[in-house]
Amino acid sequence: MCGRFTYRLTWPEIVKLYRLTLDTPARNTQPRYNICPTTTIDAVVERDGKRELVPMRWGLIPSWWSKPLKEMKLATFNARAESVAEKPMFRSAFKRTRCLISASGYYEWHDVPGGKQPYYFTRADGDAVTIAGLWDEWKDKATGETLKSCTMIITEHNDFVGEVHDRMPVILEQRDFGTWLAGAGNELMKPAANDVLQRWPVSKRVNSSRTSDDDSSLIEEIELREAAK
């Protein structure tokens, strides 16, 4: 799964990479180093031929959900590529509302004798990690408020990621953004090539969701003997 990631892109970088509509209001994006499920993240959507960056809850709430939000106990921040087209939670969004979720990198944990050792994964070429996503819009019947939410699609690991974890996000190349947003390209839901990502071990402080979101030292490489202390 992918349950924690970072986001360090500037507004000009986002506009250029995702070809956002030029009349989209500028955003003052802030670096985040410990993004957790159920918090608000940015997703790129395309409507009427225009792309925009939309704040959404990370953890999809389907439009048909009839109970209060607090009763959503399922973890819907990831959707498995193998079952996303059939699962009731995701199948409607999979057919009609797709998005791109941008990350600078993400964390994954490796089981070792001393516990879970986190690793930071980022693209080897220095570009943003663009993850295939789905989004939906849900209305709270009690308050009348509308909530947009999203999920990342995950798939089997490639050989490189498999040395640490058994799953990885579906990573899209820039040439495939339009295809995915248009509701096509199901064949893209596969592991990235082994040379797309790089990784290094990081502090176990990131194991806690309470660790500050603005702590840039979370992505600094450590020596594994330090992690064992």
Q: What is the pLDDT of residues 108-163, one digit of tens each?
A: 999 888 889 999 999 999 999 999 999 999 999 888 899 999 999 999 999 999 99
Strand order in the sheet with 5-7: 32-35, 5-7, 105-112, 115-123, 197-201
Q: What is the pLDDT of residues 70-104, one digit of tens each?
A: 888 889 999 999 999 999 999 999 999 999 999 99
The whole-model pTM stands at 0.94
DSSP β-bridge partners for residue 130: 102
Asked whether the beta carbons of 71 and 132 are under 8 A apart, the reply is no
CB atoms within 10 A of CB 17: 17
Asked whether the beta carbons of 82 and 56 are under 8 A apart, the reply is no
Is 90 exceeded by the pLDDT of residue 25?
Answer: no
The pLDDT value given to residue 208:
87
Q: If pLDDT is split at 50, 70 and 90, which confidence band does 227 have? A: very low
The pLDDT value given to residue 112:
87
Task: Tell me if residue 12 falls in helix, strand or coil.
Answer: helix
The pLDDT value given to residue 229:
40
For residues 80 and 160, what is the distance between their CA atoms, to the nearest angstrom? Answer: 19
Burial class (CB in 10 A: 0-12, 13-18, 19+), 137: middle
Q: If pLDDT is split at 50, 70 and 90, which confidence band does 228 have? A: very low
